[in-house]
Each structure stands twice: as C-alpha cells, then as structure tokens.
Copies of this chain bind each other. A is one copy, B any other.
Amino acid sequence: MKLHGYFRSSAAFRVRIALNLKGVEVEHRSHHLRKGEQRAVGYLALNPQGLVPTLEFEPGGVLTQSLAIIEWLDETHPQAPLLPSDPLARARVRAFALAISCDIHPVQNLKVLNRLRSLGVEEDAVADWAAWVNREGLEACEVMLRDQPGPFCFGSAPSLADICLVPQLSNARRFKVDVGRFPRLLMAEAAAMALPAFADAVPDQQHDRE
C-alpha cells in the first residue's frame, strides 16, 4: 500500500496516525504542496481533487479523503477500534472529528490562504484569518469535550477525535494561536503524544520534512 502525502499536511498526518494505530505499514510518496505537485496530471488521475492524502493499493484500489480512509481502515482492521460501538457515542466522536475536518482545516489550508493573497489581502491579515479559524474552531472543540472523561478526547483510548485534534493543534501553534486556552484539548494531546503511533506521525519525523 502507498500513502500519497506531504509531511506538513494535516490530513495526511491524520492518516499516518491511524495507520500506526492499526499497525499497517505503507510506502510513503511525497507531493510537495507549495510546489503544486498535487496538481500534476498523473496525481490528478488518482485524486481528482488534487489534495493529499490518497491511499493506493494493488490492483487499482484508490481511496481519497482522510476521514473516509480512516473509517475504511477501522472497518477492515477492527483492532483497536477508532470509534466506540454505541451509535450515539460514535456520533459524538464523529461530530468532533468533523468540527475540525470540515469547519477548521479546509478554511485555513494553503489553497484558501493563497486565494486570499491573490485578492490583495495583506500577509498580516492572511495570518489573522488562519489564526481566527483555528481559535474559534478549537474554542468550540474545547466545549464539546467539557463532559467527556479523559485523558483522551473521549475516554481512555485514542479515537478518530484525537487523530483529528493532534494535527490541528500543531497548525494552531504554527498560526500563533494561544493554545493554553484549551486545557482539555491539551490533556488529550498529551495523552496521544505519549503513544508512538502519534509521536512517529508528526511532520518533523517524516522523510520529506524540510
């Protein structure tokens, strides 16, 4: 299996964590997002959105979208589960993951920030935009965990929620958000980062880091 990704992509980071948690080894193919390699014709044939990650497996199997890939991994490799078994509890974990994956990450990705620049928005205001999206989004995430037992987002084991949270907190710091305002999120991050599955997946540990 090949994972097409990029060291700094939060969405590829999520899939790296999930693969590690499931003990699935893959070959990594890097696509340099700032150089636009994800828009190459050969890659677009795999992923028409021109985004990373893409999971490719023989013969001819291709999956895109980090959350779809992770749910597929969880369904095909049931140990250890990334979602609770109770439907209501599953829905809460998914809602938290989607609050990050829909409402934070795509609104602050490279494509959107570059589009702002093309409209003549100054670099300071672009940085403010990215910080605003992360700050508002993570504030809501902090409240969503208010009644959830720790140390992970939802209880005593990592889930899809932690898989989405850890990369997003890393983005938030890069955009200079004061993450100290989110003690419950930081508790979950600390529990996650104590596991090699998370620690080995961070951007700085990847072969294509800069």
| Docked complex Cα distance between A166 and B105 (Å) | 24
Is A24 located at the chain interface by the 8 A CB criterion?
A: no
Which stretch (A70-78, A176-184, A185-193, A197-205) binds chain B? A70-78
Q: If the complex has contacts A75-B87, A87-B75, A129-B115, are A106 and B102 also in contact, measured as CB distance less than 8 A?
A: yes
| Docked complex Cα distance between A60 and B122 (Å) | 46
Task: Determine the main DSSP class of A at the interface with B.
Answer: helix
State the Cβ distance, A53 to closest chain B Cβ, in Å: 11
State the Cβ distance, A81 to closest chain B Cβ, in Å: 14
State the Cβ distance, A102 to closest chain B Cβ, in Å: 5
Q: If the complex has contacts A115-B132, A129-B115, are A61 and B88 also in contact, measured as CB distance less than 8 A?
A: yes
Give chain B residues whose Cβ lies under 8 Å from the Cβ of A71: 90-91, 94
Give chain B residues whose Cβ lies under 8 Å from the Cβ of A49: 99, 103, 137, 140
Copies in the complex: 2
Residues of A whose CB lies within 8 Å of any CB of B are: 48-51, 61, 63-65, 67-69, 71-72, 75-76, 87-88, 90-92, 94-95, 98-99, 101-103, 105-107, 112, 115-116, 119, 121, 125, 129, 132, 137, 139-140, 143-144
Partner pick for A48 among B72, B76, B116, B140, CB 8 A cutoff: B140
Q: If the complex has contacts A119-B121, A119-B125, A125-B119, are A90 and B75 also in contact, measured as CB distance less than 8 A?
A: yes
Give chain B residues whose Cβ lies under 8 Å from the Cβ of A91: 63, 68-69, 71-72
| Docked complex Cα distance between A110 and B143 (Å) | 23
Partner pick for A88 among B63, B116, B125, CB 8 A cutoff: B63
